[in-house]
Structure 1
Amino acid sequence: MPDSSFPAFHTRSFQEHGLWIFYSVLSGLLAGLAATVFLVLLKHATEFRMEHSGLIWLLPAAGFAIGWTYHHSGKSSAAGTHLILDEIHDPQNVVPLRMAPLILASTLLTHLVGGSTGREGTAVQMGASLSDQLSKVFPIRPEERRILLVAGAGASFGAAIGAPIAGVLFGMEVIHAGRLRPFAVIECMIASAVAYEVTRLLHAPHSIFSQYSGSWFELRSFLIILGCGAVFGILARTFMAVTHLVERLQVKWVQYPPLRPFYAGVLLAALFKLGGLERYSGLGLGVIQNSFSVESPALDPVLKLLLTALTIGSGFKGGEFIPLVFMGATLGSALSHFDPGSLPLLTSVGFAAVFGAAAGAPLTCAVMAMELFGWKVAVYAVAGCFIGNLFSGSQTIYRSQSEVTSSRR
């Protein structure tokens, strides 16, 4: 039977095709502008925190403020990316516009005080929620809102990391749970290209990485990547398990939701400042960059995993992408201890494979690696990401995606 999850391409009139190109451009503009504003503000917040490291002691207060705001004013937006996934799979109501400013403010506050979270998840929520508002302005059928959500989310992801092709695939592979729909690809491509160009023209602060300069294929390197891919997948699986454990324990032990990030903030501040773990606070982009040239300590991915699970599992905002990239890059770098010549390759593949395994997005992340590190990494990235995905299990960081995927098996 034909799938009716997206309106069939051939049933649209020429005028409708033109309208959807227009909608896609608008979606891309909104996503690109939102991503640019967010990345610029986040850069300033991070720099300010690094200049005033004492702000980490405010983690408990920031946690309570975030928890209180979502508990009393943002319940309809609290599900975040999960809400977007739910609306794509079963459209009911337009995603609340308040999601964008809420996630923006809470993510900036989290990073201002050194919380170990990411940024791309915030960009995805902002882009999708803003794109969905177009359905209030234009005559868009409820079932066609899915296209706006997929395009907006994917465009924001690609714009935030500087990888527009990966953004297209993210929208189709992750947000729509692996079901690639050819008649929605055009809209996603337009939105992602526009969003990326907006961030480029406005000079959004993207991270720049060295290009992989090794050979296209060496059997020895390929076999090493296959083995390490399994380790990357196990790390992703462990992160999901620990994060969900923190969530369950918080719900069990702390009845008043705003106190969950408050108590976690007390523990995190103590660990960062008194435990000497400030290296793992915030985004950790400097640590990621260094991992490509200097072998990382073996404890780097482990400690980042534990601190991120505590941060995100307790209700701080920002998403998992950068922390998972941190874990993957430092794990790959640490594994190069057994083969020092493979450090740049293992770090590049680990960078992509751990998030790919956790998100159920091996294709997206393999392409992301090619866009960020050069096309010479292609064979290794594909192998590492798909092996990692195989070893990560059936669950993903996006629970709604996991449920939909499981229901199709």
Structure 2
Amino acid sequence: MSSKVRYRFLLLLLKWVVFGGIIGAIVGSTTAFLLHFNDFLGHYRENNNEWLIYFLPFGGILIGFIYMRIGKRDQNDSAKGNNLVIEGVHGKAQVLRRMGPIVYFGTFITILFGGSTGREGAAIQMGGSIAETINRFFKVHILDKKIFIMSGISAGFGAAFGTPVTGAIFGMEMSSVGKLKYEALVPCLVGSFVGHYVTEKVWGEPHKEFIIESVPSMSITVLLKIITVSIIFSLVSVLYSLLRHGIQRESERYFKKNHMIRGFVGGIIIVILFMIVGSQDYNGRGLEMLEQSFKGDVPHFAFLAKLIFTAITLGTGFVGGEAIPLFFIGATLGNTLSELINLPLSFLAALGLIAVFCGGTNTPIAAFIMSVEMFDGQGLEYFFIACLISYMISGYHGIWPSQSIYPPKSRLYMINEGTTISQAKKQKKRKID
């Protein structure tokens, strides 16, 4: 390597460190605000303000009005959420700068009135929005623009969950199934670590900790049990994806993409379900039951209730993240299965949390690294197996239809590289017809 090439390489490296740091610092600050205000609104409703849930249908109207009024420009629709961010990484769409503030407001409304959702989706979309703003300001090259967006994703994820290494990998893995975009490694790594540091150390926002009390010793019997439950976790992640996108597709078709009516009807359904269940455990974030799933008994139907509540909430136009609901579904399902197959409760809750997240997001490497960061490296071999099985069994289902496939998970799928999950499903449907 000549001295001139080395010099240009060092300048490029320095550029990505600087821009990754800038994106991380800004996204870390906005994520700290998101986490703090999100918790405030959640606690406010949960503590003797249960009546707010009855206003959820009107919250749906407000969110729908905002997205219909200012959330769209040309073919770039902020209502696509993380799918628009993924399309931005692939150069198929433009991430709107207004997307970040809109999704924050929508998430706050959803949480305040009891919609079942998470918050990392808002952090990721704000990361993409901030990255796009910096892109515009510095007028960067189209290839650099894609890397900027990935670093914004990493910063948002690392800051939201306190998992900086996972955040770095997630930003590179989220947009494409089966492919890591290594050219974005440095800015994603810097953005995620800076975002995490700013959120936790500068602004003092703590992150939830989950503890595995015991891990079973390896044996043939234990291994067979792990394989069995991993398949179950994967199938449940598929069930969630099918229900969530099925509700979205049918509600958009029936209401002709009128987000205000969709949100109103979806809110009414959630209120009715809340009245049937008689508890707000499945409204909002569900963090208390998520924590309880690592410590003691939870209702056996908890995973299914959260799955239905979240699928309806997000499928009818409300806003928020899907990672925490996937955590909830996986952990409570693991808690229930622990009684049936005689494995430690906290261990199986952790395994379910990671496996369902992996199956839903199609990010096996990020999911495995998350297990290391969240659970201090305990039971690595089991989490590796669970991620592998969940990734393979889930096929081409997932929470983000805009993900591109590089390469197919198996030659049996007969899918061309670069095909999106939504396109693959349409091809499969045409073959069946």
What TM-score does the superposition give when structure 2 sets the normalisation length?
0.88
Q: Which residue of 2 aligns with 1:32?
A: 28
Check if 1:58 corresponds to 2:55: yes
Q: Which position in structure 1 is the counterpart of 2:238?
A: 237
Aligned CA distance change for structure 1 residues 251 and 328 (closer, same or farther; 3 Å):
same
Distance 2:401 2:276 in 1: 35
Distance in 1, Cα, partners of 2:60 & 2:180: 38
Q: Any idea what the Cα deviations from partners look like across 1:320-340, whole Å, max 9, x if unmatched?
A: 111111100000010001234
Correspondence for 1:349 among 351, 354, 373:
351
Aligned to 2:168: 168
Aligned-pair CA distance for 1:297:
2.6
Distance 1:295 1:391 in 2: 28
Match of 2:225 in 1: 224
Change in Cα spacing, 1:21 to 1:340, as seen in structure 2 (3 Å) is same
Query: Does structure 2 retain, via aligned residues, the 8 Å contact 1:117–1:283?
Result: yes
Distance 1:272 1:247, change over 3 A: same
Report the CA distance between 1:172 and its aligned residue: 1.2
CA contact (8 A) 2:216 2:344 kept: no
Identity over aligned pairs, percent: 32
TM-score scaled by length of structure 1: 0.93
Partner-residue secondary structure (3-state), 1:209: coil
Aligned counterparts of 1:325 and 1:77: Cα–Cα separation in 2 = 25
The letter for the 2-side match of 1:48 is Y
1:129 CA drift (Å): 1.1
> 1:154-180: per-residue Cα shift (whole Å, max 9, x none)?
221121011111111111111344422
One-letter code of the match for 1:300? A
2:113 matches 1:104:
no
**Deviation string for 1:201-260 (max 9, x for gaps)?**
111131121245435745433332111000000000011111122112212322333100
Instruction: Call closer, same or farther: CA 1:343–1:131 in 2, change over 3 Å.
Output: same
Distance in 1, Cα, partners of 2:111 & 2:61: 15
Which deviates more, 377-386 or 325-334?
377-386
Aligned to 1:204: 205
Q: Any conservation in 2 of the 1:232–1:328 contact (CA below 8 Å)?
A: yes
Structure 2, unaligned runs of 5 or more: 408-414, 419-433
Aligned CA distance change for structure 1 residues 36 and 83 (closer, same or farther; 3 Å): same
Contact residue 217 and residue 379 of structure 1 kept, 8 A: no
Helix, strand or coil at the partner of 1:298 = coil
C-alpha contact (below 8 Å) 1:325/1:354 kept by paired residues: yes
Contact persistence 1:115–1:282 (CA under 8 A): yes
Range moving further from structure 2, 58-67 or 13-22: 13-22
Q: Secondary structure at the match of 2:399?
A: coil
Q: How many residues align?
A: 400
Residue 10 of structure 2 corresponds to 14
Query: Who is 2:261 aligned against?
Result: 259
- The runs of 5 or more residues in structure 1 that have no matched partner are 1-8
Counterpart in the other structure of 1:6: none
State the one-letter code of the partner of 1:157.
Answer: F
Counterpart position of 1:408: 417
Tell me by how many angstroms 1:341 deviates: 4.1
- Shift of the alpha carbon at 1:295? 3.2
Equivalent residue for 1:369, pick from 363, 368, 371 = 371
d(CA) in 2 for partners of 1:209 and 1:319? 19
Partner of 2:425: none
Amino acid at match of 1:325: F
Match of 2:285, SS?
A: coil
Displacement of 1:134 in angstroms is: 1.1
In the alignment, the residues of structure 2 paired with residue 381 and residue 135 of structure 1 have an alpha-carbon distance, to the nearest angstrom, of 38
Distance (Å, rounded) in 2 between the aligned partners of 1:216 and 1:39:
37
Residues 11, 389 of structure 1: CA spacing in aligned structure 2 closer, same or farther, 3 A cutoff? Answer: farther
1:185 equivalent to 2:196? Answer no
Instruction: Show the counterpart of 2:194.
Output: 194
Give CA deviations for 1:128-151 in whole Å, capped at 9, x if unaligned: 110221112224211211111111
**Secondary structure of the equivalent of 2:211?**
coil
Q: Which moved more, 1:114-123 or 1:295-304?
A: 295-304
Deviation string, structure 1 residues 301-329 (Cα, Å, up to 9, x no partner)? 11111111111100000021111111000
Cα shift at 1:273? 2.9
Distance 1:68 1:139 in 2: 32
- The more displaced of 334-343 and 214-223 is 214-223
Change (3 A) 1:321 1:401: same
What's 1:5 paired with?
Answer: none
- Partner residue in 1 for 2:296: 294
Corresponding position of 1:309:
311
Residue type at the aligned position of 1:97: R
The 1:367/1:217 distance shift into structure 2, 3 A limit, reads farther
| Cα separation, 2, equivalents of 1:55 and 1:73 | 26
- The answer as to whether partners of 2:354 and 2:368 remain within 8 angstroms in 1 is yes
Shift of 1:403: 5.8
Aligned equivalent of 2:338: 336
Query: Residue 295 of structure 1 aligns to a residue in which SS?
Result: coil
Q: Separation in 2 of the partners of 1:151 and 1:178?
A: 19
Does residue 73 (structure 1) correspond to residue 70 (structure 2)? The answer is yes
The AA in structure 2 aligned to 1:386 is L
Alpha-carbon distance in 2 for matches of 1:395, 1:402: 12
Q: Give the whole-Å Cα distance in 2 for the aligned partners of 1:348 and 1:250.
A: 34
1:145 paired to 2:145? yes
Q: Distance in 1 between matches of 2:6 and 2:274?
A: 57
- Shift in CA distance, 407/151, structure 1 to aligned 2, threshold 3 Å: farther
For 1:218 and 1:12, locate their aligned partners in 2 and report how far apart those are by CA, in whole Å.
53
Instruction: Say if 1:29 and 1:194, in contact at 8 Å, map to a contact too.
Output: yes
Distance 1:114 1:402 in 2: 33
